[in-house]
Structure 1
């Protein structure tokens, strides 16, 4: 064998080696190929064939290089998406009409407002009670309407009793079928006395009692009741 045969053997082996190491990292493959080329360089055909036989099949050389090759590419860390921070809930201040302080002030105004400022003070208390949301509708109606109903009942009962009394407002009948003029009995109260007494009872007792009743209904009720 001459030098041409040695070059042919060396070239064929290197081509097979390049094909076998196509999956080996480039730097490792180039280093192995350069080392083998350096060992085969300058040998005659017989020595080249003998050395190729010692090196072994190119596929085996490639597998060994693949097993010993270091990991050149580090795994790419996938960033975990971070959700945006949740918006803080908006705290809305409760309306003044839903507070216990407003309700207490409304009940007290209803109770004593008419004493401090006759009638007008009571009207202001009625308005405040109607605006408060801590009472049910029927509770407001009871506190506002009951004093009027009591006033009408007291005045009506007194008027009926006055007319039914002897010598009352109806007068007496004469023998000719005509009624004589009503005779004032000093022992019986006049109509205006009954009305005034009813107003006093309603203004001093029932209206303050209605406001106190609302305060009693307000106990242990920090929030507006369900309808």
Structure 2
């Protein structure tokens, strides 16, 4: 009850920190979509290249968030952005690459070759096949990768408060330094709620973008292949 009372009494501050948090995550994931989806498309038909790109993205994911934020400070200090939003966005952008690239390449690699042959038989160019046939079929798995990246980054963005990026992590840091359980729990609770809300919102968008009549078994096969990759 004390935590809820703290949230209500400080709703203005929490709303401000929430806005900072969502801005950092949205910018990082948005940029990751702009790069990750094209990268996934590019490697989807090249098994060797796909293996190397996914391995590199996986290595980025294994770097502890505190370490990655720390590495950003001396590097970006050279251009005047050692702390703040810029290093936070870059770090979250890197963490977003693996789920988006992997899901995009898996979805496109898993499309029935007969569909491509039919599109070629209709005289479609490579770009037309991609835009009208392949990407619509790949939407569910691509969106699943975006959902995963978003939920992961909402949690990791809390660590960004240590490098002056703001966000809800500031409440957690204050709670730890001031030994104030209310602030610590308030920050953790709001982060958990927005992560769940973002996941449900993106799932609704995923359903909206998925073509009607899409074969469920194809999607399941894609998810199974992704899980074993």
TM-score clears 0.5: no
Give the TM-score taking structure 1 as reference length: 0.27
TM-score (norm 2): 0.27
More helix by share: 2
Higher Cα radius of gyration: 1
